[in-house]
Structures are given as C-alpha cells and as structure tokens.
Chains A and B, each alone.
Chain A
C-alpha cells in the first residue's frame, strides 16, 4: 500500500472514515451495516472500506482544520440522522478513532485567509473551509485528500497543491 508521510484530510473522506469505522464495528458485533448509501461510490464493499481505513491509518501525520471538524456534526445530522444510543455510539467510536489516529486539528482563521494575497481571491468562491484546507496543505507541503472533484480539487490543482480524490486512492476491489 502506497502511503503519504503527511496529509490534509477534507470533511468528505474524514466523515466517510468515521462511517466506515462505525459500520465495521456494528458488523463485528453481530449487527447490520447501515450506511453504505452515504459513502463514496468506491467504498461500497467491506474490503474497500477496510482498505480505505487502513490507508488513512498509515498516514503518519493527519492534519485537518477546525472548520472540517465542525462540519462533521452537520454531516451526521444530515446524512445519518442518528439518535439515542446509536448517536452516542457513533460519536464514541469516532472520537476513539480520531484519538488513536492523533489527528491534528488546525485553526485557520477567516481573517488571515482574507488578507492572503492569493487565497483571499478564491475565498468568496469556494468558502472558508475549502480555502483553509488548501492553505494548510500548501503551508505543510503535503497532499490534500478530498471527495470534492468539482470545487476543492480543481482549485487545489490550480494552486499546485497535490490533491488526491478518494476514488484515486482505492484500488478497484
């Protein structure tokens, strides 16, 4: 498995990872998987889900932004719609995984981005979260992992940030 020493992770793949982890734990404890439908097309099989998680785990330094972490809450509310014990289990398993992965949460400030000569221009077009991810990947000189080919990846390519789509990272299983 090819890996990266360091990578910035967007909310799409990070949320997918949490959902894969949650579903795999459900299956491991004798229950049914529930959320294949919310995952990226390439993550529809148990093998590809496990490959994806193992791949992310192999990245030694995993970085993201506080904006991405904040988006996770909305993604759960909008896509999984869990409540009660299931909701608590999802967040407990997710926090456990994020702790084990030592994910580094960086604060990228809107006003810093706005005053940036180059990034300030794309801020109104792609928003603070995506601009922050490009800024973080550029500053650390590392790869940016996303599901968003249309907006984030395109803008990252323009700015010579090495951006990889999830579907490029998962071999067809």
Chain B
C-alpha cells in the first residue's frame, strides 16, 4: 500500500533558516484532492513529524540531508488510519455490530433462542464472523487483537448454544411422550372446543411432518402468546403452558433443557462484554479522528 509524502522548502523562506511545506498525499494522491498540507515547518518540526508517523530514525536523517541539499524530498510512509477509514468502519462494522449484539442480548434475556427448525439454527443469534464477514471487519480484527479474541469467544458460545438448542428440539420431536401430548391436544374433541374444525385450520399448509417440529420450535423458543392472525394462535395460546412444561417434565427432554439453560446466561455475559468493548473502541476512534458516530440522516443507532 502506498502513502506518498512530499516535502519542499517554503517559497518565502531563505536558506539560513529554511521552513518546509509537508504535503501528505495519502493513498489517493494530491490530485484526488485528499492531500493534507502542513505549511512553514522548521527542520526540527519536520523531524518530529516524521518520528510521529513512524519513519525510522536513520531515514529521518537521510531525508533531512536531502532536503538541505535539494530543497525537496519525496518519501513513502506506512499507511495510517484516517477519518475516511474510521467512517467506513462505523458504517459497515461497528454501528451494525453494536446494534446486532444489543438486539441479541434482548433475545437472550427473554430466553428466545430464535431457533428455526427449517434451517436447524438460531436465526438471530449467530456467529459474528459469519454475519459481518467483510473486508472492513477483517481489517479491524487485524488491528485489534483483544476485539478479535472476544469475538472468537462470542462465536464459540453461540455455537455451543446453537448445538444445545438443536439437540433440545430434536429431543422433543423424538420423544414419544411429547408426540402423544401433541396428538391428544390436537384430538378432534379438543380442537372443536377451540372452534377449530380440522388440523389444517391450525397448521395451514404445513405438511404433517412439520407439525410436531413447529410446536417443538415454539416450545424451545419459549414463544409467548401468538397474535390472532396466525392459524396456530388458538391452539398454541390455549395449550402453551401445558406444552412448555414438557421442557422440565419429560424424560430425556429435561436433561437437554438442563444442559441448555446455563449456556444462555453465559452468552449474555460474553455479549455484554463485547458490546462494551466495541462501544469503547467506537468512542475512542470518534474522538481521536473527529468522526461522528452517526451522520445526520441516520434514523437510529445503538
């Protein structure tokens, strides 16, 4: 990566006490209009500036000698983080990441694992490396080892929770007791008490094989009362408490439930730490590079 800096003797200074203009053309070049110019610096100012920008001591001496001799010099410096990069990090990684993690914490506190039996995964509690995979994200992680480590910890905790919840769902649908419970609650006499004529009035176009999976999905997610536009609402709302007891009453299921239960609070704790860490990083970058966390036309952010 190229970052070119030009130094030239200021036009209005003499040779006995020369002053210099430093033109930091960045990676885009002066022509692109992004060059930062510092005018009328003394030789010691220039030397200090080089040191701040990470130019090796030997190179500082060489460039100063060249300046004294020719009145101009050109050099390459290591690339640096600037406001444009910080803006991109805010917009594509840090702001969405904070929103994502805070939303995840809300779901975890409600023990809503957002398990989807079709995808066999937690829909809204996912490894961050999968959800935020882009070049800016990789760049931040390369430059911030503690953040990278915390994301690893988060993602490992998500994987454990996801596997446990999938096993819990599987334990439910393969439990003869659970299937019998569903069948009894779905018996015609029980349905007619709810004003439901037939099974398809409960499950719509879900195939018969998907019915137990759907009820088990509601159970593992601790689904609350469903609004009336769901065809499953009358059945679920009537039998919800009874079905949720399966988690603690049915053999095999309760063991899976017991092993899943502590994973939620653990992930919540990891996510809280991560959210704080990312917010602190965002604050530091914002103040250091004078970059607003959000721009005026954004409706909201975490």
Contact = CB atoms under 8 A, between A and B. Distances in A.
B72 to A, nearest CB: 49
B119 interface: yes
Classify the interface of chain A: helix, strand, loop or mixed. helix
A171 B53 CA distance: 66
Contacts of B227: 24, 28, 50, 53-54
A102 interface: yes
Contact of A100 (B100, B107, B231, B300): B231
A88 interface: yes
Nearest to A30: B106
Nearest to A17: B229
Interface string A60-96: 0000000000000000000000001100110010000
A92 B123 contact: yes
A83 to B, nearest CB: 10
Contact of A102 (B109, B118, B200, B224): B200
B116 interface: yes
Contacts of A103: 205
Interface in A21-66: 21, 24, 28-32, 50, 53-54, 56-57
Contacts of A29: 106-107, 110, 112, 114
Nearest to A28: B224
Contacts of B229: 21, 50, 53-54, 56-57, 97
B100, B118, B124, most chain A CB atoms within 10 A? B124
Contact of A88 (B110, B119, B203, B224): B119
B98 to A, nearest CB: 14
A49 to B, nearest CB: 10
A101 B204 CA distance: 6
Contact of A89 (B106, B123, B205, B231): B123
Given A28-B224, A30-B106, A57 B126 contact: no
Given A30-B106, A92-B123, A57 B224 contact: no
Contacts of A57: 228-231
B43 interface: no
Contacts of B118: 92
Given A57-B228, A89-B114, A102-B231, 8 more contacts: A29-B112, A30-B110, A31-B106, A53-B227, A57-B229, A57-B231, A92-B123, A102-B200
| 7 residue pairs, one from A and one from B, having the closest CB atoms | A53-B229, A100-B204, A57-B229, A30-B106, A100-B231, A102-B204, A102-B205
Interface of B: 100, 103, 106-107, 109-110, 112, 114, 116, 118-119, 123-124, 126, 131-132, 200, 203-206, 224, 227-232, 300
23 contacts: A24-B227, A29-B110, A29-B114, A31-B103, A53-B227, A54-B227, A57-B228, A57-B229, A57-B230, A84-B131, A84-B132, A85-B123, A85-B126, A88-B119, A88-B123, A89-B114, A92-B119, A98-B205, A99-B205, A100-B203, A100-B232, A101-B205, A102-B204
